[in-house]
Structure 1
Amino acid sequence: MITLKKQSTFNNLHNSNIKAAPNFFELFNQYINLDNIIHPSFKQRYYLTVSSKRKYSLESMIKFFILKNIFNHIHYVDTLRLLQISKELKSFCGFDEIPHASQISRFANKFLKNINEVFHTFVDITNPMVKEHNQFLSSILIADTTGFEAYVKENNPKYYETLLRKAKNIAKTNSNILFAGITQLVAFIIN
């Protein structure tokens, strides 16, 4: 009897919270029109790069990256796992089936510049809305317009190990270069 009462109370509380919470997806679709944000040249480039019809729309892929940034996921796989357990998020993105991580990665690598432009435009559109809502908070909030970080060689520790090895080899072959470099470093630190 007590267990049923607790379950009933939990269900009522859960249902009232769902009704009271703002619906992000409705608000997004009401105020944000991706057709106005995505540049026509990006659309043309995306749809012309493959001779057959694309399985995933450009809007779906952009919404995927919006969710990735909202949830502050570093890796695509984290967002893909979230889509697997949430039919609402999957529906928001417009995916009938969830793309493979390699498809997302290829899309990100191929269209990095275009995706960043979309996020810059997105910030340009939403920033006045935020200022209208609360001028003080908009002045202290930081807008990250990077969209996402591309996988680059500088993010790989092996890159720095290679640079260190090269520097050591140069120092072995010519000690004057090393001495000049140390002298410049000391002068920089003193000033």
Structure 2
Amino acid sequence: MKKILFTILAVVTLHSVSQAQFSLGVTGGPAFSTGNSSNVIDNGYGLGIDARYQISPNVVAGIGFQRFSYGANAVGINIPGVDFTINPITASVAFTPMAQGVTPYVGIKGGIYDTRVDLGSLFGISRSYFGFAPTLGVLVPVSDLIDVHANVEYHTVFVNESIPLTEVSLSENINFVPINIGISFKLGQ
């Protein structure tokens, strides 16, 4: 009896997944540090991958991983050998006013931002913080199975930490704005 129930559940699940609209995408582009972050972090670049599921014709949920790489500066002077990387692992939701053709969207993503500072090959510091990013973008269908998309995000990473054995407390947010251009492949059409 358990095998029959499991088989029925598996068939129903596979049918549901095959009818759903999933998409897998890759993105890349420049990333600009803003606010007080720009006093320490140079502009950089980012790459990302994401998986999205269309909940309804106007709502898309997803998960994603991005990697942003930056150099360091002090008062506008580049500091060689110091590198920043920020790796957000996020969940997102986006709303679209239309379901066909060129589709603008607005959304928000949030999750864990793994940050790392490397001081040459000698020393590295890694911490994880919570962050979020409002997103504004557009999807342009190229075919029934491929979309080109572009978006701009405003990431805020909430840094709140005390340095051990000192009375120094860091409570400065990290802010940056990537401009992403990418391609999505639709699955389960």
Common fold by TM > 0.5: no
Question: Greater share of helix residues, 1 or 2?
Answer: 1
Question: Greater share of strand residues, 1 or 2?
Answer: 2
Greater RCO, CA 8 A, separation 6+: 2
Higher alpha-carbon Rg = 1
